[in-house]
Homo-oligomer: A and B are copies of this chain.
Amino acid sequence: MRKSIATVSVSGTLMEKLEAIAAAGFDGVEIFENDLLTCPLPPEEVRARAADLGLGIDLYQPFRDFEGVPAEVLAGNLRRAEHKFRLMERLGADLLLVCSNISPAAIGDDELAAGQLRLLAERAAEYGIRIAYEALAWGRHVNEYLHAWRIVRLADHPNLGTCLDSFHILSRGSDPVGIEAIPGEKIFFLQLADAPLLAMDVLQWSRHYRCFPGQGNFDLAGLVASVLRTGYAGPLSLEVFNDVFRQASTERTALDGMRSLIGLERELHGMTHPAVPAGFAFAELADTGSLGGMLGALGFARTGTHPTKPVELWEQGGARLLLNATGDDPKLIAIGLDSPDPAGAAKHAESLLSPILPRERTPEEARLEAVAAPDGTEIFFCDDAWLADFASSGPVPGQAEGPAPGQVEGAAEGPVPGPVTGIDHVALAQPWHYFDEAALFYRGVLGLRPQESLELPDPYGLLRSKAMSSPDGAVRVVVNIAQVGADHLPWQHVALACDDVMAVARRLRREHPELLLPIPGNYYDDLEARHEVDPELRRLGVLYDRDEHGEFLHVYTVTAGRVFFEIVQRIGGYQGYGAGNAPIRLAVQHAAGH
A192 and B220 in contact (CB under 8 A), knowing A180-B230, A231-B184?
Answer: yes
The verdict on A434 contacting chain B, using a C-beta distance below 8 Å, is: no
A237 and B58 in contact (CB under 8 A), knowing A10-B245, A24-B255, A223-B176?
Answer: yes
- B21 with A232: CB separation less than 8 A: no
Q: How many angstroms from the CA of A188 to the CA of B227 in the assembled complex? A: 11
Q: How far is the CB of A4 from chain B (nearest CB, A)?
A: 4
- A236 with B11: CB separation less than 8 A: no
The verdict on A30 contacting chain B, using a C-beta distance below 8 Å, is: yes
- B253 with A177: CB separation less than 8 A: no
- B236 with A3: CB separation less than 8 A: yes
Chain B residues near A231: list those with CB within 8 A: 183-185
Q: How far is the CB of A103 from chain B (nearest CB, A)?
A: 14
The verdict on A233 contacting chain B, using a C-beta distance below 8 Å, is: yes
- A176 with B226: CB separation less than 8 A: yes
Closest to A191 in B: B239
Q: Contacting A24 at CB < 8 Å: which of B59, B203, B254? A: B254
Q: Which of A30, A211, A257 is the most central at the interface, judged by chain B CB atoms within 10 Å of its CB?
A: A257
Q: How far is the CB of A111 from chain B (nearest CB, A)?
A: 25
Q: Quick check: which of A160-168, A297-305, A400-408 contacts chain B, the rest being far away?
A: A160-168
Counting every copy of the chain, the complex holds 2
- B187 with A11: CB separation less than 8 A: no
The verdict on A201 contacting chain B, using a C-beta distance below 8 Å, is: yes
Q: Contacting A193 at CB < 8 Å: which of B197, B203, B211, B483? A: B211
Dominant secondary structure at the A interface: mixed
- A206 with B20: CB separation less than 8 A: no
A17 and B237 in contact (CB under 8 A), knowing A5-B257, A226-B179, A258-B24?
Answer: no
- A258 with B205: CB separation less than 8 A: no
Q: Contacting A202 at CB < 8 Å: which of B137, B187, B245, B255? A: B137
Q: How many angstroms from the CA of A461 to the CA of B241 in the assembled complex? A: 11
Within 8 A of B (CB), among A170-215: 170-172, 176-180, 182-185, 187-198, 200-206, 209-215
Chain B residues near A220: list those with CB within 8 A: 166, 170, 192, 194
Q: How many angstroms from the CA of A486 to the CA of B236 in the assembled complex? A: 32
The verdict on A453 contacting chain B, using a C-beta distance below 8 Å, is: yes
Within 8 A of B (CB), among A2-24: 2-6, 8-12, 16-17, 20-21, 23-24
Closest to A177 in B: B226
The verdict on A533 contacting chain B, using a C-beta distance below 8 Å, is: no
Closest to A186 in B: B230
Chain B residues near A484: list those with CB within 8 A: 484-485
Q: How many angstroms from the CA of A289 to the CA of B251 in the assembled complex? A: 40
Within 8 A of B (CB), among A383-397: none
Which 4 residue pairs of A and B lie closest in terms of their CB atoms, listed nearest first?
A485-B485, A184-B231, A194-B216, A4-B237
Known: A171-B206, A193-B211, A195-B206; 18 extra A-B contacts, CB below 8 A, are A2-B235, A5-B254, A8-B241, A20-B251, A23-B251, A24-B251, A24-B255, A30-B237, A137-B202, A176-B226, A188-B234, A195-B216, A195-B218, A197-B217, A200-B202, A200-B204, A243-B462, A485-B485
15 contacts between A and B (CB under 8 A): A10-B245, A24-B257, A28-B237, A30-B239, A58-B234, A137-B202, A138-B201, A165-B239, A168-B206, A179-B229, A188-B234, A191-B239, A192-B213, A194-B213, A243-B462
